[in-house]
């Protein structure tokens, strides 16, 4: 099976009133394909992978300790996804916050981690990895008004997929940092986009080993008004890093949102077929 079928799957959304950007990388051969994959779009919480990558790097080098305590500040707390804003406890470890960010996309945990390392460090890591257009612009906020960036983060499907490919190859700075990021991604609880219609075991303990005849997923999603994004890794007979980002005008109503989700899920089935196809 050719990766070109991924582009064909993305092309089925051409008549829809949205932008659907897709990039897929065969981790082991380096073959890649994309559609609209250089378009800079809002990517919502999928961009938290870049923050987690920087934390993983610092944990691997010893700049940070996993058990370092981080006290939540009032400025960290925000609504949306996550659990910390509902808990009374204020002290957490760095790795606690990473697990919460990766598993339930906790916005308060994200803000605390971003305050700890700074957006400048994520920009440096992106440049080092060749991710030219993946950018965290701000903290997560409940309301975006004058004087703050209009969105939390922007990026391209290409850059998101390449970040995942780096982690899968162990080249995201170090093998240790790469493996740590993948373990966090494996804990993600939102499988409603690319993995929604594919057969996989989210709890298999063999990760990242390839299951016999099966498929494993590690991913990070993003959801915002007019945005659905998913970046991750499929492990089957082949290892496939991917990113899919849909963007549309919210004034078009809920039918366009449903169409975007359906289109990303359709791409997921094509990615699954490639990942499960044995190499010649």
Q: What is the pLDDT confidence band of residue 236, given thresholds at 50, 70 and 90?
A: very high
Q: What is the pLDDT confidence band of residue 199, given thresholds at 50, 70 and 90?
A: very high
Q: What is the pLDDT confidence band of residue 280, given thresholds at 50, 70 and 90?
A: confident
Q: What is the pLDDT confidence band of residue 1, given thresholds at 50, 70 and 90?
A: low
Q: Which residues contact 217 (CB under 8 A, 6 or more apart)?
A: 191, 194, 195, 198, 200, 202, 232, 233, 234, 235
Please state at what angle helix 254-276 crosses helix 4-11, rounded to 10 degrees. 160
44: left (phi over 0), alpha (psi -120 to 50) or beta: left
The chain-wide mean pLDDT, for the chain, equals 95
Closest alpha carbon to 165 in 241, 239, 231 = 241
Examine the pLDDT at 14 and tell me if it is beyond 90.
no
147: left (phi over 0), alpha (psi -120 to 50) or beta: left
Q: Distances from the Cα of 238 to the Cαs of 178, 198, 241, 244, 278, in angstroms?
A: 18, 15, 10, 19, 7
* Residue 16: predicted pLDDT: 87
| Unique residue bearing structure tokens 């092309």 | 11
Average pLDDT over residues 174-179: 97
For 85-114, the pLDDT digits (tens) are 888 888 899 999 999 999 999 999 999 999
Residue 168 C-alpha from the chain's centroid? 13
Closest alpha carbon to 184 in 100, 240, 79 = 100
The residue count of the chain comes to 280
Q: What is the pLDDT confidence band of residue 146, given thresholds at 50, 70 and 90?
A: very high
């Amino acid at each position: 099976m050719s990766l070109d079928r991924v582009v064909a799957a993305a092309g089925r959304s051409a008549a829809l009133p949205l932008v659907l950007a897709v990039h897929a990388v065969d981790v082991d051969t380096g073959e890649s394909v994309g559609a609209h994959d250089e378009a800079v779009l809002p990517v919502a919480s999928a961009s938290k992978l870049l923050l987690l990558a920087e934390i993983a790097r610092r944990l691997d080098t010893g700049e940070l300790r996993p058990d370092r305590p981080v006290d939540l500040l009032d400025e960290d707390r925000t609504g949306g996804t996550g659990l910390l804003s509902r808990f009374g406890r204020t002290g957490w470890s760095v790795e606690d916050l990473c697990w919460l960010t990766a598993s339930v996309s906790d916005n308060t945990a994200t803000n605390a981690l971003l305050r700890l390392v700074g957006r400048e460090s994520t920009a440096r890591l992106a440049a080092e990895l060749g991710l030219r257009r993946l950018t965290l612009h701000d903290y997560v906020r409940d309301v975006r008004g004058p004087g703050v960036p209009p969105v939390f983060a922007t990026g391209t499907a290409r850059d998101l997929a390449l970040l995942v490919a780096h982690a899968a190859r162990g080249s995201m700075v170090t093998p240790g940092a790469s493996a740590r990021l993948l373990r966090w991604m494996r804990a993600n609880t939102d499988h409603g986009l690319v993995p929604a219609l594919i057969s996989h075991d989210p709890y298999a303990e063999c990760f990242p080993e390839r299951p016999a005849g099966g498929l494993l997923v590690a991913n990070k999603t993003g959801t915002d008004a007019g945005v659905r994004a998913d970046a991750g890794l499929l492990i089957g007979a082949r290892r496939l890093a991917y990113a899919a980002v849909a963007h549309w005008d919210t004034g078009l109503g809920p039918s366009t949102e449903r169409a975007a989700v359906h289109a990303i899920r359709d791409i997921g089935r094509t990615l699954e077929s490639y990942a499960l196809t044995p190499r010649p």
